[in-house]
């Protein structure tokens, strides 16, 4: 007996809702910490630049810069067409670190935008964007977790003063959709700028 069209449609809707709920449940938590001066932040013109100036034209960094600009635009900042014309600068850094799943300490492998190592995981080794990474030959392939960290400092160009800064980070199983670099940075940026400027010095968890 064929299922009536109305029942079939309802079953499909329920199945889709359950699938979406399952995806949401699998999303890794994001830890966010922010600091600021406790004063109003005028939402003037802003430009996004890398912590390491040599990455200003790097294609990978530009992908992340577009994500940050989207969030700043959503908050009401005006995106300046070039660096020299903005009073505010969002100094941005993305770091990705790998370690065997379940291992809390020890060495980790870090590929960073703007340098730095470990992304909060101790004993990390850092290589620049585009650097070659090799693992010991014959070593059994391990399950790896990847930690992604997004750090941003909002500075006044005229004074060089940092008026707001924040860091967001999450960990996901390497090779899964949740660990995709662009998708992860998009999720971190949204969490970092949620309820901007946030409570200074407080660390929150965003799901």
pLDDT for residue 37 is more than 50: yes
**Residue linked to tokens 């199983």:** 173
What value does the mean pLDDT of the chain take? 78
Q: Is 112 exposed, middle or buried (0-12, 13-18, 19+ CB in 10 A)?
A: buried
Helix-, strand-, coil-residue percentages of the chain, each rounded to 5: 30, 30, 40
Q: How far is 157 from 48, CA to CA, in rounded Å?
A: 12
**Entry pTM:** 0.75
Residue 134 or residue 79, greater confidence: 79
Question: Half-sphere exposure of 130 toward its Cβ, with a 13 Å CA cutoff?
Answer: 7
Residue 190 or residue 123, greater confidence: 190
Q: How far is 94 from 112, CA to CA, in rounded Å?
A: 6
Orientation angle between helical segments 59-75 and 181-192, nearest 10 degrees: 30
Asked if residue 27 lies in contact with residue 188, where contact means CB atoms within 8 angstroms, the answer is no
Q: How far is 100 from 104, CA to CA, in rounded Å?
A: 9
What pLDDT is recorded for position 127? 34
Q: Is the dihedral of CA 109, 131, 184, 179 positive or negative?
A: negative
What pLDDT is recorded for position 63? 96
Residue 8 or residue 74, greater confidence: 74
Asked if residue 196 lies in contact with residue 168, where contact means CB atoms within 8 angstroms, the answer is no
**pLDDT tens-place string over residues 127-180:** 333 333 444 444 446 789 999 999 999 999 888 899 999 999 999 999 999 999
Record the tokens describing residue 31, joined without a space. 């830890």
Least confident of 50-59, 122-131, 134-143: 122-131
DSSP letter assigned to residue 87: S
Asked if residue 158 lies in contact with residue 87, where contact means CB atoms within 8 angstroms, the answer is yes
Q: Average the pLDDT over 99-105 and give the result.
A: 73
The most distant pair of C-alpha atoms in the chain lies apart, rounded to whole Å, by 76
What pLDDT is recorded for position 137? 44
């Amino acid at each position: 007996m064929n299922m009536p069209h109305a029942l079939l449609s309802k079953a499909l809707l329920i199945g889709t809702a359950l699938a979406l709920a399952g995806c949401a449940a699998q999303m890794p938590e994001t830890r966010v910490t922010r600091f600021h001066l406790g004063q109003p932040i005028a939402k003037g013109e802003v430009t996004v630049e890398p912590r390491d100036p040599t990455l200003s034209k790097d294609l990978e960094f530009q992908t992340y810069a577009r994500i940050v600009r989207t969030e700043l635009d959503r908050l009401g900042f005006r995106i300046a067409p070039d660096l020299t014309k903005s009073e505010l600068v969002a100094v941005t850094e993305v770091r990705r670190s790998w370690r065997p799943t379940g291992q809390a300490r020890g060495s980790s492998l870090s590929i960073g935008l703007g340098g730095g190592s470990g992304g909060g995981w101790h004993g990390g080794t850092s290589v620049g964007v585009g650097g070659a990474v090799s693992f010991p030959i014959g070593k059994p392939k391990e399950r790896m977790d990847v930690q992604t960290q997004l750090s941003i400092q909002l500075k006044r160009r005229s004074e060089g003063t940092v008026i707001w800064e924040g860091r967001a980070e999450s960990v996901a199983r390497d090779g899964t959709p949740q660990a995709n670099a662009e998708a992860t940075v998009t999720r971190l940026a949204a969490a970092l700028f949620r309820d901007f400027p946030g409570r200074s010095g407080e660390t929150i968890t965003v799901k």
